[in-house]
Amino acid sequence: MKRLIFSIYTDKLDPHSSASDYKKKQFATYKNDIIQVQQGYAFYCNADYALQMTEITDYNLLQFEKLVLFQKAIEKYDEVLYIDFDVLPITKSNFFESFDLNNICAYSFGRDMIKKDLVEAARWDHFDPMNIYIKTCCKNAMLLIEDVVGNNELINTGVLGGNKNSIEKLNFINNINEMNKIYEIAKEDNVYPDTIVKNWFPNNEAFISYLIEKNNVPFTNIGIQWNFILDKFCPKPTAACHFLHHVNKEFELSFPNVV
């Protein structure tokens, strides 16, 4: 059984809310420490480790690239685990032994906007394009074009596992062009107000969630403990999780002695 754990990295990203100067600096400072942790976990799981360097400079295209590499990896490997470069395994539990990888394995969750958020956003005619609620609306609009009623959850692609069987069923690469067509139709034919629709963009999380729901691809929700997201909603880590996902890029929380 050949296993791979891989991540993707570049220090040449164009300006983006998820690739600010601060975040780039944090990656540069902690790069070697992150590699050591991810590589060590791969060794523990009896898996190869690869850090894929890329020449892509567009942040959104980079998110699609990791899903392309996820599928291409099954040309050489039986089981594959992708983790974002800001994800740090802090566990002695083996991901490959914890889940049935005949299913696509990832963390799926919803984050509805509360009434106060909606009123404030409408007042200023502004929504954050990276907001989970916005991405989920896009995904569900695409599904409605296919006469499928979507759920209120979205897959986070920061941690993504599968094997030859499940990744072939997902078949993300061969569905990209069709998903782009459905996305363009959904932008013009949907039930959402312009203040939401104008913030849509071709997004990897919306697309993979759409594809799994539309085609009933076997899926396992790995739960928050395997993709514990540290962001403005939850800025502090917990020892109860397996993987810390440093969306804030505050790696000093995990590496307090690095200067």
- List the structure tokens of 11: 């220090």
pLDDT tens readout for residues 133-180: 899 999 999 999 999 999 999 999 999 999 999 999 999 999 999 999
Examine the pLDDT at 119 and tell me if it is beyond 90: no
Position 127 scores a pLDDT of 73
Q: Residue 73: which of 65, 84, 61 has the closest Cα?
A: 65
In the chain the domains, ranked by start, together with CATH numbers, are 3-253 (3.90.550.10)
Sequence-distant (6+) residues with CB within 8 A of 110 are 132, 136, 151, 152, 153, 154
Full 3-state SS string of 52-114: EECCCCCHHHHHHHHHHHHHHHHHCCCEEEEECCCEEECCCCCHHHHCCCCCEEEEEECCCCC
Position 36 scores a pLDDT of 98
Round to whole Å and give the CA distance between 172 and 225.
26
Q: How far is CA 76 from CA 53, 88, 92, 256, in A?
A: 18, 25, 26, 37
Position 124 scores a pLDDT of 47
pLDDT tens readout for residues 4-20: 999 999 999 998 988 99
Position 256 scores a pLDDT of 86
Strand locations in 74-198 (E): 79-83, 87-89, 104-109, 154-163
Query: Contact 84/70 with Cβ under 8 angstroms?
Result: no
Would you place residue 123 in the very low, low, confident or very high pLDDT band (cuts 50, 70, 90)?
low
Examine the pLDDT at 116 and tell me if it is beyond 80: no
45 half-sphere exposure, CB direction, 13 A CA radius: 27
Round to whole Å and give the CA distance between 139 and 153.
9
Query: Contact 32/257 with Cβ under 8 angstroms?
Result: no
Q: Residue 208: which of 77, 76, 63 has the closest Cα?
A: 63
pLDDT tens readout for residues 32-67: 999 999 999 999 999 999 999 999 999 999 999 999
Position 24 scores a pLDDT of 94
Calculate the average pLDDT of the chain. Answer: 93
Round to whole Å and give the CA distance between 1 and 66.
22
Helix (H, G, I), strand (E, B) or coil at 208: helix
Q: What pTM was computed for the model?
A: 0.94
- List the structure tokens of 107: 């963390």
State percent of the chain over pLDDT 70: 93
Indicate the pairing of strand 228-229 with strand 154-163. unpaired
- List the structure tokens of 51: 């850090």
